[in-house]
Amino acid sequence: MNARTLSERLEKGFLMMLIQDGIILRQTKMEDINDYIEWYTTKTEWMNWDAPWEQNNQNDLNNLVEHLKHQVSLNTSVVPKRLEICLGSGTHIGWVNSYFIESDETKLAIGINLPGKKIVVLD
């Protein structure tokens, strides 16, 4: 991505965008919500590995969609707790988020989710 393209994207409200080795971390946008709906309804295998003790249902999806819409509408000067992971091509492949374990502010956790992608471990 060249400087002009990056500048144009920043002008459109993407105040936080990190780019390294073909991977982009950026703030959530409305178009991402369709991906989340797919990941929470169709491509759900990732849920078996990400907190499998949690049960997900339609209310969870509805709450997530409303939460994401709210995040998109927030003042972009707020540091986000969630960033979307995209390939250099712009393809949205997942997210990274931070949260406190059991609401304990001394126990910060980072979650990285790449739903629908096959992970291959090479020796």
- pLDDT tens track for 94-111: 999 999 998 999 999 999
Average the pLDDT over each of 14-18, 21-25, 52-56 and give the range with the smallest value.
52-56
Residue 80: band (very low, low, confident or very high) from pLDDT cuts 50, 70, 90: confident
Render pLDDT for 29-39 as a digit per residue (tens, 0 to 9).
999 999 999 99
For residue 76, pLDDT over 80 is answered with no
User: Residue 2: is its pLDDT beyond 70?
Assistant: no
Collapsing DSSP states into helix, strand and coil, what is residue 5?
Answer: helix
Tell me: pLDDT of 92 over 70.
Answer: yes
Count the Cβ atoms, other than its own, within 10 Å of residue 6.
14
Domain boundaries in the chain?
3-113
Nearest to 50 by CA among 99, 83, 11: 99
